[in-house]
Amino acid sequence: MEIEFNEFGPEKILEVYDPKTKMHGFTIIFNTALGPGKGGIRMTSNVTKEEVFRLARAMAWKCALADLPFGGAKSGIVSSGKINQEDKDKIVEAFSKAIKPICPSLYVAAPDISMAEHEMEIFAKANGDIQSCTGKPSEMGGIPHELGSTGIGVYHSTIVAIKHLKLKVDKITVAIEGFGNVGTFAAEYLAKDKAKIVAVSDSKGCIYNAAGLNIPELFKVKQETGSVVNYKDGEVIENKKLFELDVDVLIPAAIPDVINQENKNKIKAKAIVSGSNIPMTPELETELHKKGILVVPDFVANAGGVISSYIEFIGGTPEDMFKMVEEKITKNTALVLERSKEKNISPRQAALEIAKERIRNKM
């Protein structure tokens, strides 16, 4: 896929190289009508400008829909495979210095693949501006994602979807793919509301119990043994079977493209709330919508992470973050589902319309 230019962007494509460290990277700023472009830095051996462009564009829609004063951007650093931490630090430092002229006026960085708090500390120090990135250690004013901003946002989005379908949270059944940072928090909060979570998977397999799983117990098992499959009160089933279960709500919260041509006709859920990025293609979302399955798109449901980044950017507290995640995700999910219903279009189409309107009005 090539980079496509349209009325929204991309505004800037910056490619940088440092002969000393052999750092080769790029930053793509898609649109800054609402504010500086926001988006993480991913460091992989096969990252391309086209991939970074697609992610930067997606960030523009996500920030606009979350109603944040951020535009969309993204960065990629081409890594030469396995490098030690010392060399990695030098590459991050070189990248930060190379893009210093655009941070944070046009671009605010964040961690993505192969990047974490430590790398953001290196980035901020090399850049010379604390606001040049988010995802920093808490002693530098960072708000750790371990507090669950994304998963809690997915929970709030799920509650709106349930009400939209005129279902009661204490009467629904839920299956969650992935029990990492997103899935655990979504599960914890739904369980507190007495939703019956019948299946949870991780990379080792899926645990299923039609009568419901004890989520605090499951979390303990996962922490102690490394996998949900060691939970005693349930049967272990294949991961792919999770998507075929007769549940009210399905939450994909780990890997991309888990809903695909192979299983699309086996889905029995009334609603799918996308906790992970790209759990299915936009075309599939439209197809499922036509079948009467409510699909809350990823950039609506999982915007908790970028809302948390905004709170860090303005120097807010974890309490501010929890409050804003609830307010914004609840309001924007409702807005999207109402427009989808009124115009009889898929929630993704409705969400893109709203995001583009917000950007256009500022332009």
Identify which of 153, 158, 157 has the alpha carbon closest to the alpha carbon of residue 175.
158
Cross-strand partners of 28: 13, 74
Catalytic-residue membership of 74: yes
**DSSP-derived pairing of the beta strands 71-78 and 23-31:** antiparallel
Q: How far apart are CA 132 and CA 230, in angstroms?
A: 43
How many CB atoms lie under 10 A from the CB of residue 35?
A: 18
In the DSSP assignment, the letter for residue 4 is P
CA 313 to chain CA mean position, Å? 18
292: tokens are 């009467």
Which contacts of 292-295 are long-range, i.e. CB under 8 A and separated by 24 or more positions? Answer: 293/267, 293/269, 294/161, 294/164, 294/165, 294/270, 294/337, 294/347, 295/271, 295/346, 295/347, 295/348
Residue 114, token pair as written in the block: 């192969």
Q: List the structure tokens of 312.
A: 């860090």
Query: ∠ CA(330), CA(56), CA(142), 5° rounding?
Result: 65
126 phi/psi in degrees, rounded to 5: -70, -30
Catalytic residue among 38, 74, 90, 136: 74
Would you name the residues annotated as active-site residues?
Answer: 74
